[in-house]
Structure 1
Amino acid sequence: MTGPSTLLARLRGRRRSPGGQLPERHDEQPTPGGEFNRRLLAPMVLGSVLNPINSSMIAVALVPVGAAFGAPPAETAWLVTALYLATAVGQPVIGRLVDDYGPRRLYLAGTALVGLAGVLGALAPSLGVLVVARVLLGLGTSAAYPAAIHLTRSEAERTGRSSPASVLTVLAVAGQTVAVIGPTLGGLLIGLGGWRTVFAVNVPLSLICLALGAARLPATAPRRGREDRLDHAGIALFAILLLTLMLFVMKPRTALWYLPVLTVLAAVGFAARETRTRNPFIDLRALARNRPLIATYLRQVLGSTGTYAFLYGYTQWLEEGRGLSAASAGLVLLPLSLTGLASAAVTGRSAAVRGKLVVGSVFQMAACAALLLLGSTSGVALLIAVGVLAGIPQGLIGLGNQSALYHQADPAAIASAAGLLRTFMYLGAMAASAANAAFFPDGATTAGLHHLAPFMLGGAALLFVVILPDRSLGRVGTAAVKPN
């Protein structure tokens, strides 16, 4: 017999979202209280790292792929771009499907697609087929991260722990870790079996994810009813908006004037559609009212631009401007990666995010300013010190934004909000790539680095200005019922 306290807990667990819809309900009735279900961590973490590991492994495969198919760097670069574009569009779209149909279905479908992409890439007879495989990889790896954030929210509601800081930290640190070891792993795989192994490794990873997901992820009842229809027109306009914007940002040229025009037209059409349709893909009216979440997306773009501009620009300068070998440059950058991981791990158990973001933005400004001190004869100690400075914001800003989004987003749309966060991260990465191309037109010279540094410093200063007056950040994560 169900007592009043149990009924009340169940009603609280199924509170209505601002849109009046009930969040999805687990088939197995959750029991309030208890610990986070640790069995979920393995599929959540392993699925979430599929995207960053495929993003980073390809870096060492571009040259052998180009040699195999007789393709110049301008063509093999599409192996990187294809995954970025597919992921940037796929994350919020699949996140919306996770919110509507539950994480298990989308997680299993996405990881199965990763396996299919791995087979296609391993057997690809041409560069064009490889690009298709990378698109499929981008779409397939877009499911796990929104699913992981959705599961984290569901577990928080089940256990009554509103701030599962340690779980969010594990997700952030895992993604950073595999991004760091990705090139090393890719080089090892290529050494063992050629560049095709970089694609083939996704097959066993996919099978492990499928086995763990099928065994451990909870079955859920779809939230979407028959009267609700997926906003296909809104998704199509959103995809056109993102694709045209990102293609232009990657290589801004006057000859591509039609791309920003298409972006503006798609943006106007998307806004008109989403503010009028009954069941929008992205509720722009609700988003406009959630200013803290908009600020988080803005911080994500600014922080990612600075992070990726440093990673791309500094790494390239170490090899071309400073004259280090690729292996030596990797060793110089190792403290950067370790510092990023350490800063996230040390601060991760704290649910508060304001301090992380303030400190992260200050260190990002310091790292950008330090680039002005470098020259072609700079000592190794100084090179390492600059990297260490850059590693601290790498760990803090990403974790801070992820934690802020977790508390700011509508629980009923947490997966699509998390997908959008990844989209804005990729926008920052694309902007950084464009900046490096602009400031290094003839190679990564010291003069070019000294012109790139003020651009990065301006972005970091703007990030600091956005963070400092935002009083809502002081309340994020401070109302935790029980720290996880």
Structure 2
Amino acid sequence: MGRRSWWLMISVGLGILLNPLNSSMVSVAIPELQHAFHLDFTAVSWIIISFYIASAVAQPVMGKASDLFGRRKIFLLGLTTALLASCVAPLSPSFGWLVLFRILQSIGTSMMVAVGMAIVRIHITEKQSTALSVLSIFLSGAAAFGPFMGGILIHGWDWRAIFIVNLPFVAASFLLAWLTIPKDEPVTTMASRMTPRQWMTRMDMTGILLFTTGLVALLIGILAAKSSGNVTPLHVIAFLTGAVLLVAFVRHELKSASPFIPLRTFARYPAMTRVNVEFMLVNVLYYSLFFGLPSYLQTVRHVNEFDTGILMLSLGLCSLAASPFAGRWIEKSGPRPAQFTSAILMTFGSVWIVFLHPSSPVFSVCVALAAFGVSNGLNNVAMQAAMFNSSPKEIIGVASGLFNTSRYIGTILSSLLIGIVMGGKFNFAGFRVLGIILTVIAMTLVWLNRRRRASLIPVSAER
């Protein structure tokens, strides 16, 4: 690989790390945001939910848009959008404005994730596996060290620091991308002649609107009722509106020629459906711990942001350490043994949370963090391999998109779960209830994987 290829890879890596970095740093900032804006935990959880809803919508949309308008343009536009959001978010006069700027940040960083891998695949023609593995390090490393970095920044300043820290990454990525990413080819005749209406049909803007508004209305109905402590007619109306819109979304997607989420694909390939459902549950487990434990440490155990970041580092380090081992194991034995082991580890970590006590040593949480970290390292590789094994080659692109959608839905559900369990204030009793719920989900995954262990097939044979 030549020097220019390495610089191209670094420019893309510095851009795509912004999405996982910003989604993970906020886990340590929740108590600080509650205090700064005088809000309860349920209301502040929208800083998490909004980011993942926007990412779930923006990434597939921007992937399609890059085919029409060019990947270099979309990547540079994403950097510009992320820069703007990072500059104005610290100036937010209210929490509503902060959520809005957070959504803008999610859209900008999603543009880079959506096209970053494609840029590397197209323009680096030799040692592509090495290039993609390096990009994976940028993504997983940013997610792993995000809470640690967030803890240091918030401890030294306040919540505004988690936005300001983006500026050097954006500046370096933009400069390198401008110099190293080749210019896009001229827009094709078909794309240039598309009318706005044709473009909206191609993007399935109707499906996107139904999905987004339906999901947001449903979440507002549930979380607002939990936050206020009683169910009002407005809560019921919001919930029913969301449910109706999501039903309309399903009907629309089944009829659409270019669906936002191709639901018919799930119906045709049940094995792929099972993988996506399991991946969604895995992410509910992982992100419930990822977002819940920092609030437990800071609110219940009164650990400062810096020490919380240090403790959370064990989660990321264990995940990174397990990933190379997982790759070798899965190449030899297939994904299912790793998935089964991962489910066992998540069950152990969830049970450990249930039996934590207010007087337990603070560092004892590292046992649960290590179990979930190793589990995540195994799942990052095993679930990806399971997805490839269950998906026909002719739809592998669609399958990858659906796989990422399952990740985001699982993450959104984890935030919803924490908000419902905790309500207005994060407390020890709620944290224990959360542990019980996670134990049930993890044991379900153990049962599902145990049922399929009799039919284990190595990766090489399945291919």
Q: Is 1:207 equivalent to 2:189 in the alignment?
A: no
Q: Could you tell me which of 253, 275, 284 is aligned with 2:254?
A: 275
Q: Could you tell me which residue of structure 2 aligns to residue 259 of structure 1?
A: 238
**How far, CA to CA, are the matches of 2:255 and 2:16 in structure 1?**
34
Q: Could you tell me which of 357, 360, 370 is aligned with 1:388?
A: 370
* Alpha-carbon distance, 1:123 to partner: 4.6
* Alpha-carbon distance, 1:304 to partner: 1.3
Q: Could you tell me which of 23, 32, 36 is aligned with 1:55?
A: 23
Unaligned 5+ residue runs, structure 2? none
- In structure 2, the CA distance between the partners of 1:79 and 1:390, relative to structure 1 (3 Å rule), is closer
- In structure 2, the CA distance between the partners of 1:117 and 1:328, relative to structure 1 (3 Å rule), is closer
Letter in 2 for 1:273: H
Q: Could you tell me which residue of structure 2 aligns to residue 170 of structure 1?
A: 137
SS at match of 1:143: helix
Q: Is 1:96 equivalent to 2:64 in the alignment?
A: yes
TM-score when scaled to structure 1? 0.75
Q: Is 1:235 equivalent to 2:205 in the alignment?
A: no
Give yes or no for contact 1:166–1:348 (8 Å, CA) kept in 2: no
Q: Is 1:305 equivalent to 2:278 in the alignment?
A: no
- In structure 2, the CA distance between the partners of 1:163 and 1:280, relative to structure 1 (3 Å rule), is farther
* Alpha-carbon distance, 1:251 to partner: 4.8
Give yes or no for contact 1:78–1:131 (8 Å, CA) kept in 2: yes
* Alpha-carbon distance, 1:39 to partner: 4.6
Deviations 1:432-474 (A, max 9, x none): 3333344445855554444322211111122234445568984
Give yes or no for contact 2:346–2:442 (8 Å, CA) kept in 1: yes
**How far, CA to CA, are the matches of 2:34 and 2:116 in structure 1?**
36
Q: Is 1:434 equivalent to 2:407 in the alignment?
A: no
Letter in 1 for 2:215: L
Higher mean C-alpha deviation, range 380-389 or range 222-231: 222-231
Give yes or no for contact 1:305–1:429 (8 Å, CA) kept in 2: yes
Structure (1/2) with the larger helix percentage: 2
SS at match of 2:410: helix
Higher mean C-alpha deviation, range 457-466 or range 443-452: 443-452
* Alpha-carbon distance, 1:169 to partner: 4.3
- In structure 2, the CA distance between the partners of 1:152 and 1:57, relative to structure 1 (3 Å rule), is same
- In structure 2, the CA distance between the partners of 1:403 and 1:319, relative to structure 1 (3 Å rule), is same
**How far, CA to CA, are the matches of 1:165 and 1:408 in structure 2?**
22
Q: Could you tell me which residue of structure 2 aligns to residue 181 of structure 1?
A: 148
Q: Could you tell me which residue of structure 1 aligns to residue 356 of structure 2?
A: 374
Identity %: 25
* Alpha-carbon distance, 1:401 to partner: 3.0
* Alpha-carbon distance, 1:147 to partner: 1.9
**How far, CA to CA, are the matches of 2:296 and 2:33 in structure 1?**
24
Letter in 1 for 2:12: M
* Alpha-carbon distance, 1:365 to partner: 1.0
* Alpha-carbon distance, 1:380 to partner: 5.2
- In structure 2, the CA distance between the partners of 1:248 and 1:37, relative to structure 1 (3 Å rule), is farther
SS at match of 1:141: helix
**How far, CA to CA, are the matches of 1:44 and 1:291 in structure 2?**
35
Letter in 2 for 1:341: L
Give yes or no for contact 2:11–2:177 (8 Å, CA) kept in 1: yes
Q: Could you tell me which residue of structure 2 aligns to residue 290 of structure 1?
A: 269
* Alpha-carbon distance, 1:155 to partner: 7.4
* Alpha-carbon distance, 1:208 to partner: 2.2
- In structure 2, the CA distance between the partners of 1:399 and 1:436, relative to structure 1 (3 Å rule), is same
SS at match of 1:376: coil
Q: Could you tell me which residue of structure 2 aligns to residue 343 of structure 1?
A: 322
Give yes or no for contact 1:249–1:430 (8 Å, CA) kept in 2: no
Deviations 1:25-44 (A, max 9, x none): xxxxxxxx99x955543233
* Alpha-carbon distance, 1:312 to partner: 3.5
Q: Could you tell me which residue of structure 2 aligns to residue 357 of structure 1?
A: 339
Q: Could you tell me which residue of structure 2 aligns to residue 29 of structure 1?
A: none
* Alpha-carbon distance, 1:125 to partner: 4.9
- In structure 2, the CA distance between the partners of 1:468 and 1:366, relative to structure 1 (3 Å rule), is same
Aligned residue pairs, count = 443
Higher mean C-alpha deviation, range 215-224 or range 292-301: 215-224
1:10-89 equivalence runs, <5 A? 38-59=6-27, 71-73=38-40, 78-89=46-57
- In structure 2, the CA distance between the partners of 1:434 and 1:239, relative to structure 1 (3 Å rule), is closer
Give yes or no for contact 2:15–2:79 (8 Å, CA) kept in 1: yes
Unaligned 5+ residue runs, structure 1? 1-32
SS at match of 2:110: coil
Give yes or no for contact 1:241–1:263 (8 Å, CA) kept in 2: yes
Give yes or no for contact 2:281–2:410 (8 Å, CA) kept in 1: yes
Deviations 1:407-427 (A, max 9, x none): 666778767655554443333
Deviations 1:100-129 (A, max 9, x none): 555333222211111121232245455544
**How far, CA to CA, are the matches of 1:40 and 1:414 in structure 2?**
26
**How far, CA to CA, are the matches of 1:153 and 1:43 in structure 2?**
14
Q: Is 1:139 equivalent to 2:110 in the alignment?
A: no
- In structure 2, the CA distance between the partners of 1:59 and 1:93, relative to structure 1 (3 Å rule), is same
SS at match of 2:259: coil
- In structure 2, the CA distance between the partners of 1:441 and 1:429, relative to structure 1 (3 Å rule), is same
